[in-house]
């Protein structure tokens, strides 16, 4: 072999070795998203959940990740709700201080559906329940967490086949349950509205005709949560059904149904829709410019 050929081979080998050494101390993972044309979930197996051997499931890089700063969390203390003669006990959990914004949604998912008004700090809307769920899973993975939602494939309009919600996955991003949402909205109050007898217009954006506004423009509740009434109504996890009249711990709603619960009222609603206990329902494939979501996670 000629000297020039040997020198070239040695140079290539050295370059490859240097590249491997430089990347050994830091691993990066490109986000993987579901196949919107009906394929199975990528990067997490056919069941939509990261395996325990997947480096994305490790928790070591969660808190110092740049992704962690996308949203602000509030810790909601353990408490209970009285429904008729039943007591629902709710464990401590965390929920975002604002609705998910268009900027955050786009950063996580790559793009966003058509919106009513321009503005990156406006709440994302015109998303169906499944799209909100896919956001939760995608954000969990970007944070290095396992996912709360497990499914076999994605169909038209982001419909998720064989969906199961795993509430035991600590730190996984998910939608709040209906009862978690109400506990958070009340902010420790028992009044009809979390602002008591003060003027609603200071706390909520409602009875309007021109679409949502930027999040966090009105006074928060006692837990520091903004827009729990008005701006956009919010998807929660539960199927819509009759409340069980017996004591429950961390209830998750009906086992099945045709509609998911919607809470909080939106920018076009009357004040009565903003009451902390008020509930609405929509088919999970429904999209509307008055409907968005915020996210939650079980306490660490």
Domain ranges, ordered by start, for the chain:
38-52+66-298
Which pLDDT does position 75 carry in this prediction? 98
* Average pLDDT score, the chain: 84
User: Are 260 and 133 a contacting pair, CB within 8 Å?
Assistant: no
Q: How far is CA 8 from CA 11, 13, 26, in A?
A: 5, 9, 29
Which pLDDT does position 170 carry in this prediction? 87
Which pLDDT does position 81 carry in this prediction? 96
Which pLDDT does position 70 carry in this prediction? 96
Q: How far is CA 224 from CA 83, 220, 229, in A?
A: 25, 5, 13
CATH code assigned to 38-52+66-298: 3.90.1580.10
Low-confidence ranges of the chain (pLDDT < 70): 1-64, 300
Which pLDDT does position 157 carry in this prediction? 96
Residue-wise pLDDT tens digits, 260-269: 999 999 999 9
């Amino acid at each position: 072999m000629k000297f020039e050929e040997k020198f070239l081979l040695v140079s290539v080998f050295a370059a490859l070795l240097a590249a491997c050494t430089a990347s050994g101390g830091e691993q990066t993972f490109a986000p993987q998203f579901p196949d919107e044309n009906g394929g199975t979930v990528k990067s997490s197996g056919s069941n939509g959940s990261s395996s325990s051997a997947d480096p994305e499931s490790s928790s070591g890089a969660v808190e110092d990740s740049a992704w962690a700063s996308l949203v602000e969390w509030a810790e909601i203390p353990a408490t209970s709700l009285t429904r008729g003669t039943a007591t629902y006990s709710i464990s401590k959990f965390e929920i975002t201080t604002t609705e998910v914004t268009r900027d955050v949604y786009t950063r996580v998912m790559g793009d966003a559906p058509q919106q009513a008004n321009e503005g990156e700090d406006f709440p994302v809307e015109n998303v169906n329940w499944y799209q909100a769920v896919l956001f939760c899973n995608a954000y969990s993975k970007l944070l290095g967490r396992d996912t709360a939602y497990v499914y076999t494939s994605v169909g038209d309009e982001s419909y998720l086949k064989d969906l199961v919600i795993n509430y035991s996955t600590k730190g996984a991003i998910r939608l709040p349950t209906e009862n978690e949402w109400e506990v958070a909205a009340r902010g420790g109050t028992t009044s009809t509205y979390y602002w008591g007898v003060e003027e609603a217009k200071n706390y909520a954006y409602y009875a309007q005709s021109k679409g949502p506004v930027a999040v966090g423009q009105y006074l928060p509740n006692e837990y520091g949560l903004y827009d729990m009434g008005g701006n956009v109504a919010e998807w929660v996890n539960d199927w819509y059904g009759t409340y069980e009249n017996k004591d429950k711990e961390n209830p998750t709603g009906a086992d099945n149904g045709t509609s998911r619960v919607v809470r909080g009222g939106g920018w076009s609603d009357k004040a009565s829709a903003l009451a902390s206990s008020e509930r609405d329902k929509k088919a999970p494939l429904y999209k509307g410019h008055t409907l968005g979501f915020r996210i939650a996670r079980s306490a660490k």
